[in-house]
Amino acid sequence: MALGHYQQTSETNANALLMGGFLLKVAASAATFAAGCTGTALGIGNLTGFTENIELLTTQAGNSNKPDKKIVNHTLTITFELMEFWPPTFASVRGGSVDTSVAGTAATYIAGTPSANIFSTGGLNVLTGKAFAFENITKNGSATASTTLVVYNARLEQGLVFTPKSDHDTDPAMVIPFTLTAELETSRAVGDQLFKIESQLGKV
């Protein structure tokens, strides 16, 4: 599955703004994306928020007039919307440990027990951190520039929110919002434990 995000101006890639459209991928567990960002593609959507959270501790030395500042908590909050209603992806986005998802099995509540994609949830369990990748492709003329945001260890922060629309709405697609909080993946080297951004903007 490829995602194309098209600019309608003659802006060069060096000055291009990164738009919010992306292809979402998730790895089997935290910090496990291999080269090429291989993982399970979960569909297209919009990246709606990216907030790096830094909590500082100030230590005042007795023989210094300048207190030392130290990071004591370093996290990332990501909000995004999936554009595709596809229940088998929900369990993967949510960590895979709080839900039950079965694709192509007999339905219980649909008349005639036809084949259906089943997603169910409810119960207390540990939220498992996973690695997520948000891949954006910007096209300008004949050139394309990719930007990939990889978050090493993120967990769900809110439940599913559905806001169905009328079939007669000018934009009848129902987007599904998600919020993730990423924490440090301490198995990685210091300076590369929270997220990484790789971008070709300005390079092609």
Helices marked H in the chain? 87-93
Residue 3 pLDDT:
44
Q: Using the CB atoms, write b or e for 28-62: b if 16+ within 10 Å.
A: eebbebeeebebebbbbbbbeebeeeeeeeeeeee
Stretch 8-23: mean pLDDT, rounded?
52
Q: Which two tokens stand for residue 147?
A: 């930007």
Better-scored residue on pLDDT, 18 or 61: 61
Which of residues 185 and 89 earns the better pLDDT score? Answer: 185
How many percent of the chain have pLDDT more than 70? Answer: 80
Q: Give me the pLDDT at residue 35, please.
A: 62
Mean pLDDT, all residues of the chain: 80
Written as six digits, the tokens of 107 are 């339905």
Burial class of residue 3 (count of CB atoms within 10 Å of its CB; 0-12, 13-18, 19+)? middle
What confidence category does residue 204 fall into, taking pLDDT thresholds of 50, 70 and 90? low
Q: β-strand 115-121 against 99-106: which pairing, if any?
A: antiparallel
What are the tens digits of pLDDT across the range 18-35? 555 677 878 767 776 666
CB 122 within 8 A of CB 2: no
Distance, CA of 80 to CA of 101 (rounded, Å)? 21
How confident is the model over 153-179, as a mean pLDDT?
88
**Residue 144: is its pLDDT beyond 60?**
yes
Q: Residue 127 has what pLDDT?
A: 84
Q: Could you tell me the pTM of the whole model?
A: 0.79
Please report, as a single letter, which amino acid is at residue 80: F
- Whether residue 120 is predicted with pLDDT greater than 60 in this model: the reply is yes
Give residue 112's region: left, alpha or beta (phi > 0; psi -120 to 50). Answer: left
